[in-house]
Structure 1
Amino acid sequence: MTAAGVVTIIAVAIAVLVLAGYLIGVVFALRRVSSRLDEVATGLAVVADKTAPIGPVVGQINRDLTTVAGRLHTVLTRQRAPKAPPPPKPRTPTTPRAATTPAHAQPELPAPWVVAPRARVEGMPNSPADR
């Protein structure tokens, strides 16, 4: 056998050993993953058993909320619907304003609605009279 043949056999043997080492590592990693998945599956089964009584309660809550949502939708559509304009109010006869009253003047208020003029409060910034 020549030197090149020996080197080739040694290189192939090293490559096989390296690949075998990686595959053995993958096997151990998959075994760890499998055992963890078994633990997770067991935990999920326990959770499913403990939460089984919640199902009917959630169904009742869902039915109640569906009813509430329908009624709320009805109320909201009523509020958004265009309303008919109110009927016009009957006109009451008014006395014409005097020619001397400017158009921007405020109408006279009845006695209970008369407001006293604002007084300046000494020492207070932004007093009503300053506005």
Structure 2
Amino acid sequence: MLLQSDTSPPIFDTDLTRFQSAVIEASHQHPILVDFWADWCTPCHALSPHLERVVKELDGAIRLAKLEVDEGENMRVAGRYSLRGFPTVILFQNGEERGRFSGARSTHQIRDWLREHLTAPADSNGHPG
């Protein structure tokens, strides 16, 4: 459940200077997908509308941060996570990487991947939900 005071946009651009606060720290509030992309990358452009569609369908339950690797020093973030190709999408939850995939995927494939990789909340006995 989102707090009423949470006005952060579900889809936003990030960069090297904002990555720690906008992605890692914010992932303690809600899961964040990071789309590492480049303008010259055709599969990146094919993937983007599918990611955006899934995030909009989830209506604030998850965020999408877009990081253009060829802008400024953003490649340093890609290097930190040992990315070898683009697009690469990494899911962060509770400050940790929960999963990643590379290459274009359909909306359906992204939904299925999220179901597999999102940490389910624990029930009152501590068992995954």
Give TM-score scaled by structure 2 length: 0.16
Which has the larger helix fraction?
Answer: 1
Which structure exhibits the higher relative contact order, with contacts defined as CA atoms closer than 8 Å and separated by 6 or more residues? 2
Larger radius of gyration: 1
Give TM-score scaled by structure 1 length: 0.15
